[in-house]
Amino acid sequence: MSFAGEGFAPRRIILDERKLSTEYVPVKLQHRESQIEDSLRILKPVIKGEKYVVLSVIYDGPAGTGKTAVARKIGSFLASEARERKRIPPLVVSYVNAQEQRTRYQVLRKIGSDAGLTIPRRGFSADELASYIFDFLARNDYNLLVILDEADVLAREEDGNAILYTLLRLPELHGTRIGIGLVVIFRRFDESSLYIEDAVRSSLASTRLKFDPYTAAQLRDILWNRVLADKAIRETAVSDDVVDMIASAVGYDPSTGRGYGDARMALKILYFAALKAESEGREGILPADVREVISRGVLPAELDEEVFEKLDLHEKLILLAITRVLLLEPSRAYVSMGDVELEYEDLCGRYDEKPLRHTSVWERVQRLKKIGVIDARVESGETRGRTTQISFVGITRIPLNYLEGLLTKLIEREISSGRR
Decide whether 237 or 250 has the Cβ nearer to Mg ion: 250
Phi, psi (rounded to 5 degrees) for 209:
-100, 125
Binding residues for ligand ATP, rule: CB under 6 A, are 22, 26, 29-32, 61, 63-69, 187, 211, 222, 225, 263-264, 267
Q: Whole-angstrom Cα distance, residue 171 to residue 55?
A: 12
Q: Within 13 Å of residue 232, how many CA atoms lie on the same side as its CB?
A: 25
Establish whether 397 is an annotated binding residue: no
Establish whether 66 is an annotated binding residue: yes
C-beta of 65: minimal distance to ligand ATP in Å? 4
Span of 42-50, 60-68, 84-92, 236-244 interacting with Mg ion by CB under 5 A: 60-68
Q: How far is CA 358 from CA 70, 169, 179, in A?
A: 47, 53, 57
C-beta of 127: minimal distance to ligand ATP in Å? 30
C-beta of 185: minimal distance to Mg ion in Å? 6
Q: Sign of the C-alpha dihedral, residues 256, 257, 259, 264?
A: positive
| Identity at 377, one-letter amino acid code | R
Task: Choose the contact partner of 391 out of Mg ion, ligand ATP, none; CB within 5 to 8 A by kind.
Answer: none
Task: Choose the contact partner of 222 out of Mg ion, ligand ATP, none; CB within 5 to 8 A by kind.
Answer: ligand ATP
Span of 35-43, 66-74, 233-241, 392-400 interacting with Mg ion by CB under 5 A: 66-74
Which of 211, 171, 206, 212 is closest to 43 using CA atoms? 206
Which of 62, 402, 58, 73 is closest to 262 using CA atoms? 62
C-beta of 167: minimal distance to ligand ATP in Å? 20
Decide whether 76 or 388 has the Cβ nearer to Mg ion: 76
Which of 236, 87, 57 is closest to 147 using CA atoms? 57
Which class for 345: exposed (0-12), middle (13-18), buried (19 or more C-beta within 10 A)?
middle
Q: Which of 68, 101, 192, 215 is close enough to bind Mg ion by CB under 5 A?
A: 68
Residues at the contact surface with Mg ion, assessed by CB under 5 A? 68
- Binding-site positions for ATP read 65-69, 214, 226
Binding residues: 65-69, 214, 226
